[in-house]
A and B are shown apart, each in its own frame.
Chain A
Amino acid sequence: MNQSARREDIPGWLTHIVVPGFNLLLAFVLSGILIAVIGENPFRALSLLIKGAFIYGDSLGFTLYYTTNFMFTGLAVSIAFHCGLFNIGGEGQAYVSGLGVALVGLYLGHLPVLIVIPLGIMAAALFGGIWGVIPGYLQAKRGSHVVITTIMFNFIAAALMTYLLVEVLIKPGQQSPESREFAPNIWLPYAHDVMNWFGINMLSTPLNLSFIFAIIVSVLTWGLIWHTRWGYEMRTVGQNPTAAVYAGISTSRNIILAMFLSGAVAGGVGINEIMGIHHRLLLDFTSGFGFVGIAVALMGRNHPFGIFLAALLFGVLFQGGTELSFDMPKVNRDMVVVIQGLVILFSGAMESVFRPHIIRLFVRTRTAIAAPAE
């Protein structure tokens, strides 16, 4: 038997396409069984899901709108992760970033578009970044574990925002704790508006320019992590803190930097939701996107392109799931959450359960094919 052939490396397509594909398939098969159990046709459900995510008139816009949020939160988690930090606080960072946008929108909204939009983006990044950097500082200088502090900061963010919305920023004379609407200068153009400029009719969806911004941030993140000295240092700290010390890399400085950047990128959700869609600050606009970002980052292997694919998958699940529960009353929103959970379970948590089996199967098959030839 030829030893060198057997020792050959496993091809990339196997680990990057076949294994995740298999996991996804398994999640869908189980979801299908569940749907069958509650008395619906799983194939019709799947077709509704796909149509609901891509084909119906406004569905693609909604899918990409969700994708935008998940890209931001997924990238945020991944940046911290590259520095060895598990940032659970994307939700709170995104929430507080909305405050930054709102302050610009409410008090500087009259400024020209070209000034106020960059200002709003910077404010979102700054506020999100500050909400990330405090736990980062506590981790770096005080050793308070960032998992604990970021979770606590999610609660602090919720309390702070409720207080501000109920007591300070609320539009007087209304029940709903929302700020007044910002001046239109700070509104990011909707995708359907942009298409209209080119004479293309598109149904109105929440999809807005933030999506392009998310793609730019993805490319920037990729460049930062793999093509700058700072990314190199962050990764060294994340992968081997002892080696980082040996190399003269400051772990605390990098932890603080990574948490700032992580929070700033999570602030993209504030840009998308507040500048792009609602044009006013409202309670709980993050709706758990920050938490989904953890799953997105894990599934996307912390690589911006993987995160894009994972964010798209979750966008499909959210939007397709919404349409599914419109058309199949038995598949209620809890059922949709179960399906999302199965995808996360198989693609994230249990990812490594099947990987060795698939690789072994592949190696055996290859050996079996190669053997008669010898």
Chain B
Amino acid sequence: MNAAREVPAVPVPPALELRGIEKWFGNVHANTDVSCKIERGTIHGIIGENGAGKSTLMSIVYGYYQADAGEILINGEPADIRGPEVAIAHGIGMVHQHFMLVNTFTVLENVILGVEDDFVLTRSLEKARTELNRLEREYSLEVDPDALIEDLPVGLQQRVEILKALYRGAEILILDEPTSVLTPQEVDQLFRILRALRDQGNTIILITHKLREIMALTDHVTIMRQGAVVGHVETAETSREQLAEMMVGRSVLLRVEKKKAEPGAAVLEVENLHVRDGLNVRRVNGVSFQVREGEILGIAGVAGNGQSELLEALAGIRAVESGRILLRGEDLTRPGAVRTPKSMRQLGLAHVPEERLKMGLVESFLASESGILGHHHEEKYTGRILTRGRAILDDVARQMKAFDVRPPDPSLLTSKFSGGNQQKIVLVREIDPNPDILLVGQPTRGVDIGAIEFIHRRLIEMRDEGKAILLVSVELDEILSLSDRILVMFNGEIVGELPQASATETQLGLMMAGERLPAEAAK
């Protein structure tokens, strides 16, 4: 595909060039001497782990932040980008991870929002409609201009964001983690669109931490680590392993080694479970499954299809509307049964929540305090009145050491640890009491590659020790490499089950979009 592109004979200045960009946030050096050239008419990937400074860099290019030092050149001309409006005037467009759309407006209204060029709105709209039609035809970006945003699937909403940028005359398009909310099929469509845009001479900058996307889409890659650029490579001349090594700073194993599962008795059984969320909307709709000793049951699905509510109901956090939850055959949903987070823990159920910062720990606490959350009332941590400070510090230090948390200092603030280390703090806290069943939500979201490897290995070890593990993840790679069986959730329902051996990404992707599994494939 890359070969189809013509290489210009005359050297032209790069579409965007950064020279020595520096950015400080308080005492955090977010960007250190970042320089990079992005050639016109290419797809340029910027890859790095969370916190590597990719988003900060692009925010500087788009004018949200001003660099403390350094220069930005657009088409070889220095540009002083003091705000997003200046960036837009220079032909830079940005598609954010979280869309900036007004849900109750139509596509057309969203596209012209802020750039209505006539006092009379209807005249602006008519002009915009013509222009929008042209853009849609040119880049095969079909969207109904009169549809309401809230009625569109996520993939189409993203297209509206791209159209918005193009409508404002963008020639350099920045996409920040564009695939995190998409199904595999939607990702394919997005990639087609981006390639079309590139082939028409536009420049695309793709920010991501997913190696697969970089390999599939980009022409050049800039790798960032700890705020600095650690290398520029041609995509054609590199490999996933090499990129991973540059991102992490050491060689990493991308594939988990595991032996075949030897499942035992069912530990957790769920029967026809219905759960409503805080707004009283039913999010889990008649779900049934079992988790057995010595297996990892994966639940795949696009975020927001009821997985969170399912996990919370199982952990005793959320009320059950109807249906049964059985732990080792005991019905925990029968009238009069106690089903609180505390009682579930006492029954040997541990829960690593999906969002560690929202639920799993308290950022403003010391690591030693976050490290006893949920277990703080246990006798080893507290006496009748006073807490056992020394014992807490020692025990959390021991746990941190066991999971190689860096730095292994329990007296640091939780917020001072990187995402991966925070996740390890949560994980070790939940695994250390040796639970029989572990609920894990998004165990590697925002976790660096090195830590992912470690966390995956620990989960496999637990499985091999005969524990039952329920894994909820939106990362297909993770589901595929860890699970022994895979359930797919869509719209609160289980749309099918696949054994790991026969599951493919395409098949899972179709199911994640709501397609039910044909009856024969289920066997």
Contacts and interface: CB of A to CB of B under 8 A. Distances in A.
B377 A229 contact: yes
Contacts of B365: 235-236, 239
A235 B228 CA distance: 37
B387 A248 contact: no
Interface stretch (B93-101, B153-161, B338-346, B394-402): B338-346
A360 B374 contact: no
Nearest to A231: B387
Interface in B424-444: none
B315 interface: yes
A247 B376 contact: yes
A184 B228 CA distance: 74
Interface in A344-363: 356, 359-360, 363
A248 B26 contact: no
A246 B374 contact: yes
B501 interface: no
Contact of A242 (B228, B342, B359): B359
B373 A363 contact: no
B345 A248 contact: yes
Contact of A228 (B24, B359, B385): B385
A7 B29 contact: yes
- Greatest chain A CB density within 10 A among B24, B226, B362, B374 is at B362
A174 interface: no
Given A229-B382, A248-B374, A3 B32 contact: yes
A245 B313 CA distance: 12
Contacts of A278: none
Contact of B29 (A3, A229, A233): A3
Nearest to A229: B382
A239 B370 CA distance: 11
A8 B26 CA distance: 12
Interface string B439-476: 00000000000000000000000000000000000000
Contact of A227 (B24, B351, B386): B386
B363 interface: yes
Contacts of A229: 376-377, 382, 387
Contacts of A227: 386-387, 389
Contacts of B345: 248
B353 to A, nearest CB: 6
B361 interface: yes
A239 B351 CA distance: 20
B360 interface: yes
Given A228-B385, A247-B376, A248-B341, A356 B26 contact: yes
Contacts of B361: 240, 243
Nearest to A247: B374
B386 A236 contact: no
Nearest to A242: B359
B387 A246 contact: no
A232 interface: yes
Interface of B: 24, 26-29, 32, 226, 228, 315-317, 340-343, 345, 351, 353, 358-365, 369, 373-374, 376-377, 382, 385-387, 389
The 5 A-B pairs at the shortest CB distance, nearest first, are namely A248-B342, A248-B341, A247-B374, A240-B362, A246-B359
21 contacts: A3-B226, A6-B29, A7-B27, A8-B27, A228-B387, A229-B377, A229-B382, A232-B387, A235-B369, A236-B362, A239-B362, A240-B358, A240-B359, A240-B363, A243-B359, A243-B361, A246-B341, A246-B359, A246-B373, A247-B373, A247-B376
Given A240-B359, A243-B360, A243-B373, 4 more contacts: A3-B228, A10-B27, A227-B387, A246-B360
